[in-house]
Amino acid sequence: MRRLDGKVALVTGAALERGQGACEARLFAAEGATVVLTDVQGEAGRATAAAIGEQATYVDLDVTDAAAWDAAMADVVARHGRLDCLVNNAGVWHTGGLLETSPEDYRRVVEINQTGVFLGMRAAARVMCEQGSGSIVNISSAAGLRGDPRIHAYVASKWAVRGMTKAAALELAPFGVRVNSVHPGLIRTPMSETEFAEGRPDPGASIPLRRVGQPEEVAELVLFLASDASGYVTGSEVAIDGAVTV
């Protein structure tokens, strides 16, 4: 039996073929889940869903729009009757310290990385609490476990996701709904490609494991937290960073 047989999952920020969200959706489908991919990049999202196969569909979703979340959840329930897993993967990066970050840039990062997670958890929890089960996996970051002077808004948003996860885990536990956060370090995805530009130092050299991570490795961890194998795990923060935050 596959690890997600019979389950329905929704993954945000899943449009880009080599992104974490797409890798998570692909692995979920391979493990038996019906997967709804969402993003704001419709053409890429539809192509990724088509490449995964008939178990995957794509829905446009701006994670900062509460009404869009309600519509997406209503569509999932109408089509599939339930939602077993939500992966709040959508996020943006902004480079800039405290003095270099404008209020507009700060609000944009927080709206997507933090408010988007809040809206997703709220929408999914309504469905999951009613059915008495479910797993929410919030993708934070190693930057949600420590400070970094180069990415002030990003750090703020990812620490918030860490705290929101714990608060939601306590609130939803009586309903059989689990909530955990995942904290990736440097992972080779489209978002991090500038780190691998020709002429730059090897980005893996300063990592204790001496290499960067791959999105498939993050997907395996998210799969565990989404599956029944982690049935007693909730409110946890799990680093997957090659020991960078140790």
Whole-number pLDDT of residue 204? 84
Question: What values do phi and psi take at 94, rounded to 5?
Answer: -140, 125
In a domain, 202, yes or no: no
State the CATH number of the domain containing residue 24: 3.40.50.720
Q: Looking at the annotation, which residues are catalytic?
A: 154
In a domain, 198, yes or no: no
Domains contained in the chain, number: 1
- Contact between residue 31 and residue 4 where contact means Cβ atoms under 8 Å apart: yes
d(CA 29, CA 246): 33
In a domain, 204, yes or no: no
Average pLDDT over residues 189-194: 72
In a domain, 234, yes or no: yes
3-class secondary structure, 130: helix
Print the domain residue range for 118: 8-193+215-240
Q: Tokens 């961890």 map to which residue?
A: 221
Q: Tokens 């440097």 map to which residue?
A: 186
Q: Summarize pLDDT for 90-106 with one digit per residue, the tens.
A: 999 999 999 999 999 99
Which residue type does 117 have? Answer: V
Q: Summarize pLDDT for 14-25 with one digit per residue, the tens.
A: 999 889 999 999
d(CA 117, CA 114): 5
Average pLDDT, the chain: 95
Q: Summarize pLDDT for 137-191 with one digit per residue, the tens.
A: 999 999 999 999 999 999 999 999 999 999 999 999 999 999 999 999 999 987 7
Torsion, Cα of 135, 136, 139, 142 (10° steps):
-70
Q: Read off the pTM.
A: 0.95
